[in-house]
C-alpha cells in the first residue's frame, strides 16, 4: 500500500514520456513533407527517418514498462501483506 | 542569384527548427525516464530491506521487468538526444554555409559591376524625381559597404547584416552623444475615446493612420489604440514627425531608437496605453505602422515585455525598412512597399516573403491620381513615400485575386461597426527617481567623506 503512490507517479512519468516521444515522432515525420533535392538533403532525411523509427522502439519499451506497473503494484501489495502477517505472528 | 542550387531556405529553416524542438522534447523525456528508473530501483531496494529477516523473498518480478526495460531506455534515449542534436547542428551548418556562400557571391557580383551599378543608380535617381527608388537605395548602401576598411572581411555576412551592424553602431553613437541619456518615454496625454467606423476592408488601417499623419504640431507624438473587439486591439504607430528638443519619440531619433535598441524604450508606454484602453492580459494585439512606425511595429513584435502581457498576433507595415528584423514565426505579417520609395530600401535589403505568414507586396510606383495630387511635392522622401500612396495601394490590393493575398487580407480585415479609438501622446521625459532611489542618493550624500 505504501508504494502505490510512488508507482502511480512513476506511471504518470512514463505516460508523459510516451506522449512527448509521440509528439517528437510526429515532428520528425513533418520533415518528410519538405523538399530534399540534393544528396546531402536526402541523406539528412534518411537519418531523420532512422531516428523516428528508434523513437518508435523507445515508445514501445516505455509502453511495455508502463504495462507492468499494475502487476508490480499487486505483487508489492501482496508482499506487504505477507510481511505484515509474519510480523504479527508471535 | 541566377544559378540553381538544391536548397530551399524555408525548408532548411523549418527542418532546423524541428530538430531543435525534438532535442528539447527528448531532453524532457530523458528527465522523466531517468526519474522513473530511479524510482523503480529505489522501490526494489526498499522492498528487499522491508523483507529482510523474514521468510518471504523481497522482490517483485514485474518491478524488476520495469527496471530492466527502463535501464535500456535510459541508455538509448541519451544516444537519441545526441543524434537529434547532431542532426540539428548539421542542418544549421548547411544553412549557414549556404548563406555565407550566397553572401560572398553577392559581394563578388557587386564588386565586378561597380561602374555599371553606379550608372544604374544615377539613372534611377534621375528618373525618380532625384530620389533613389527602393532598389537603388539598397544598391547605394551596399556600395557603401565596400568603402569599409575591412574590405573583404565582411564578405561572409550578408549585406543586410553588415548594414544592420553599421546602423546599430551609428544609432548607439548618436544615443551616446544625445542629451536624452536619462530620459524615458512616458504617456503625457490621453485623448477622450471616440468611435470611428471604417468600411471593413484593410483600407481601414489607412483611415486610422490618416488620423495621425500631418495633423499639426499639437498632434505630434501621438499614437492610437483601436479596440477591435472584446479582447483584440490594434496599435497604430505613425511615421517620422518633426521633433523639437528630443521630446517627440517619433522624431528622427526615433529611427535610431528603433534600430539601436529595438524600440525597447517604447514598450512600457504602449503596454500602458493598451491597458488603459481596456486590454486584459492575453489580449490579442495587432501592430500597424507607417514608415518609422513600421520599424517600431516589427521590433515590438518580438519584445519580451509585451509578449509576456499580450498575444502579439499580426503586424501590417507601410513603406518601412524591416527586412533585417527577425519577426517571430507565429506572427502573421503584411508589408506594403513601393518600388519608387527609397525608405523601404534604407536597410539595404529588400522586404521579401518569409514563409507563408510573412507576406510582402511591392507596388510599381504611385498611380497617376496620386502623382497628380502631389504634383508640387518637395518633401525629402517624395510622393512614393506619402501615406495616401500606400492608402491607394491598399485599394489596389483589395482587387488582387491571388489566393495567398486573399488569405492575408481576410486575416487583417477590420469589423464594419464603429470601433473605439483612443489617441495617446508620448514624450521623452527625464527619468523620475523612485522613493527608494531618492533615499539611497540622500544616504550616499550623508555618508560622503569630508574634505581633507
- Average pLDDT of the segment spanning B121-128: 83
User: Per-residue pLDDT tens for B234-292?
Assistant: 999 999 988 776 789 998 888 888 888 889 999 999 999 999 999 999 999 999 999 99
Q: What angle do CA A28, A34, A38 make, to 5 degrees?
A: 110
> Do residues B221 and B347 share a domain?
yes
Asked whether residue B154 is domain-assigned, the answer is: no
Torsion over CA: B291, B297, B300, B302 (sign): negative
Which residues in chain A touch residue B18, judged by CB atoms under 8 angstroms apart? 27-28, 30-31
Cα–Cα distance, B210 to B227 (Å, whole number): 17
Above 60 in pLDDT, residue B449?
no
Asked whether residue B171 is domain-assigned, the answer is: yes
Q: Are B221 and B247 in contact (CB under 8 A)?
A: yes
pLDDT value at residue B130: 78
pLDDT value at residue B134: 84
> Do residues B329 and B212 share a domain?
yes
Q: Are B306 and B300 in contact (CB under 8 A)?
A: yes
> Do residues B192 and B302 share a domain?
yes
Q: What angle do CA B296, B411, B416 make, to 5 degrees?
A: 95
Above 60 in pLDDT, residue B179?
no
CB contact under 8 Å between A34 and B15, yes or no, is yes
Nearest C-alpha of chain B: how many angstroms from A69?
Answer: 7
Torsion over CA: B238, B240, B243, B247 (sign): positive
Above 50 in pLDDT, residue B148?
yes
Asked whether residue B337 is domain-assigned, the answer is: yes
CA distances from B330 to A28, A31, B356 (A): 20, 19, 11
> Do residues B257 and B356 share a domain?
yes
> Do residues B89 and B183 share a domain?
no
Of A7, A27, A51, Cβ closest to residue B80: A51
Asked whether residue B122 is domain-assigned, the answer is: no
Domain that holds residue B174: 166-430
Cα–Cα distance, A10 to A8 (Å, whole number): 5
Q: Does A52 touch chain B (CB under 8 A)?
A: no
> Do residues B98 and B176 share a domain?
no
Of A13, A74, A79, Cβ closest to residue B36: A13
Nearest to B408 by CA among B331, B332, B345: B332
> Do residues B78 and B206 share a domain?
no
Helix (H, G, I), strand (E, B) or coil at B219: helix
User: Per-residue pLDDT tens for B191-205?
Assistant: 999 999 887 788 899
Instruction: Give helix B203-210 / helix B387-398 axis angle, nearest 10°.
Output: 160
> Do residues B268 and B371 share a domain?
yes
Asked whether residue B441 is domain-assigned, the answer is: no
Asked whether residue B446 is domain-assigned, the answer is: no
Tens of pLDDT, residue by residue, chain A (90 residues):
678 888 888 999 999 999 999 999 999 998 888 777 777 788 888 999 999 999 999 999 999 999 999 999 999 988 888 888 887 766
Asked whether residue B370 is domain-assigned, the answer is: yes
pLDDT value at residue A28: 92
User: Can you give B305-358 as a three-state secondary structure string?
Assistant: HHHHHCEEEEEEEECCCCCCCCCCCCCEEEEEEECCCCHHHCCCCCCCCCCCCE
Of B14, B26, B60, Cβ closest to residue A72: B60
User: Per-residue pLDDT tens for B74-112?
Assistant: 989 999 999 999 999 988 888 788 777 777 777 777 777
**Of residues B332 and B14, more confidently modeled:** B332
Q: Are B100 and B159 in contact (CB under 8 A)?
A: no
User: Per-residue pLDDT tens for B382-399?
Assistant: 899 999 999 999 999 999
> Do residues B240 and B377 share a domain?
yes
pLDDT value at residue B16: 87
Cα–Cα distance, B385 to B128 (Å, whole number): 12
Asked whether residue B126 is domain-assigned, the answer is: no
Tell me the pLDDT of chain B averaged across its residues: 84
Among B49, B73, B356, which would you mutate to test the A interface (most chain A Cβ atoms within 10 Å of its Cβ)?
B73
pTM of model > 0.80 = no
Cell (9 digits) for B232: 483584440
Distance of CA B63 to the CA centre of its chain: 53
CB contact under 8 Å between B18 and A41, yes or no, is no
- Average pLDDT of the segment spanning B224-234: 94
CB contact under 8 Å between B62 and A71, yes or no, is yes
Q: What angle do CA B11, A56, B23 make, to 5 degrees?
A: 50
Q: How many domains does chain B have?
A: 2
ipTM value of the model?
0.91
Interface of A with B in 12-41 (CB under 8 A): 13-14, 16-17, 20-21, 23-24, 27-28, 30-31, 34-38, 40-41
> Do residues B380 and B292 share a domain?
yes
Helix (H, G, I), strand (E, B) or coil at B7: coil
User: Per-residue pLDDT tens for B20-59?
Assistant: 889 999 999 999 999 999 999 999 998 888 887 777 777 8
pLDDT value at residue B285: 97
Above 80 in pLDDT, residue B147?
no
Amino acid at each position: 500500500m505504501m508504494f502505490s503512490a510512488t508507482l502511480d507517479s512513476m506511471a504518470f512519468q512514463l505516460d508523459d514520456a510516451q506522449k512527448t516521444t509521440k509528439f517528437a515522432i510526429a515532428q520528425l515525420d513533418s520533415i518528410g513533407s519538405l523538399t530534399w533535392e540534393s544528396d546531402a538533403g536526402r541523406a539528412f532525411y534518411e537519418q531523420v527517418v532512422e531516428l523516428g523509427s528508434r523513437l518508435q522502439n523507445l515508445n514501445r519499451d516505455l509502453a511495455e514498462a508502463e504495462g507492468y506497473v499494475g502487476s508490480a503494484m499487486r505483487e508489492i501489495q501482496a508482499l506487504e501483506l505477507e510481511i505484515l502477517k509474519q510480523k504479527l505472528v508471535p | 542569384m541566377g544559378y540553381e542550387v538544391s536548397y530551399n531556405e524555408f525548408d532548411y529553416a523549418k527542418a532546423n527548427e524541428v530538430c531543435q524542438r525534438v532535442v528539447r522534447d527528448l531532453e524532457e523525456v530523458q528527465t522523466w525516464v531517468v526519474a522513473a528508473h530511479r524510482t523503480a530501483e529505489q522501490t526494489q531496494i526498499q522492498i528487499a530491506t522491508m523483507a529482510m529477516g523474514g521468510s518471504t523473498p523481497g522482490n517483485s518480478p514485474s518491478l524488476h521487468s520495469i527496471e530492466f526495460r527502463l535501464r535500456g531506455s535510459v541508455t538509448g534515449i541519451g544516444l537519441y538526444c545526441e543524434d537529434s542534436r547532431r542532426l540539428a547542428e548539421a542542418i544549421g551548418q548547411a544553412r549557414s554555409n549556404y548563406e555565407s556562400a550566397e553572401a560572398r557571391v553577392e559581394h563578388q557580383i557587386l564588386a565586378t559591376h561597380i561602374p555599371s551599378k553606379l550608372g544604374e543608380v544615377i539613372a534611377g535617381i534621375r528618373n525618380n524625381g532625384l530620389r533613389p527608388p527602393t532598389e537603388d537605395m539598397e544598391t547605394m548602401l551596399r556600395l557603401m559597404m565596400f568603402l569599409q576598411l575591412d574590405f573583404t572581411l565582411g564578405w561572409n555576412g550578408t549585406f543586410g547584416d553588415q548594414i544592420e551592424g553599421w546602423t546599430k553602431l551609428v544609432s548607439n553613437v548618436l544615443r551616446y552623444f544625445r542629451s536624452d541619456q536619462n530620459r524615458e518615454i512616458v504617456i503625457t496625454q490621453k485623448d477622450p475615446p471616440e468611435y470611428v467606423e471604417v468600411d471593413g476592408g484593410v483600407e481601414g488601417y489607412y483611415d486610422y493612420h490618416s488620423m495621425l499623419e500631418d495633423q499639426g504640431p499639437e498632434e505630434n507624438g501621438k499614437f492610437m489604440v483601436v479596440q477591435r473587439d472584446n479582447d483584440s486591439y490594434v496599435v497604430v504607430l505613425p511615421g517620422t514627425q518633426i521633433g523639437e528638443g528630443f521630446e517627440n519619440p517619433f522624431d528622427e531619433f526615433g529611427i535610431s531608437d528603433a534600430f539601436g535598441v529595438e524600440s525597447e524604450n517604447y514598450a512600457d508606454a504602449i503596454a500602458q496605453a493598451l491597458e488603459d484602453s481596456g486590454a486584459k492580459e492575453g489580449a490579442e494585439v495587432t501592430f500597424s505602422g507607417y514608415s518609422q512606425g513600421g520599424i517600431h511595429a516589427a521590433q515590438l513584435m518580438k519584445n519580451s515585455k509585451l509578449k509576456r502581457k499580450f498575444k502579439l498576433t499580426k503586424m501590417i507595415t507601410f513603406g518601412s525598412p524591416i527586412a533585417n528584423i527577425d519577426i517571430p514565426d507565429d506572427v502573421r505579417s503584411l508589408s506594403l512597399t513601393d518600388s519608387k520609395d527609397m525608405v523601404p530600401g534604407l536597410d539595404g535589403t529588400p522586404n521579401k516573403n518569409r514563409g507563408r505568414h510573412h507576406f510582402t507586396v511591392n507596388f510599381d510606383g504611385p498611380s497617376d491620381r496620386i502623382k497628380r495630387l502631389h504634383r508640387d511635392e518637395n518633401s525629402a522622401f517624395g510622393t512614393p513615400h506619402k501615406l495616401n500612396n500606400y492608402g491607394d495601394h491598399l485599394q489596389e490590393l483589395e482587387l488582387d485575386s491571388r489566393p495567398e493575398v486573399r488569405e492575408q487580407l481576410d486575416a487583417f480585415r477590420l469589423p464594419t461597426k464603429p470601433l473605439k479609438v483612443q489617441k495617446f501622446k508620448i514624450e521623452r521625459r527625464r527619468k523620475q527617481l523612485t522613493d527608494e532611489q531618492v533615499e539611497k542618493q540622500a544616504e550616499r550624500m550623508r555618508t560622503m567623506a569630508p574634505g581633507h
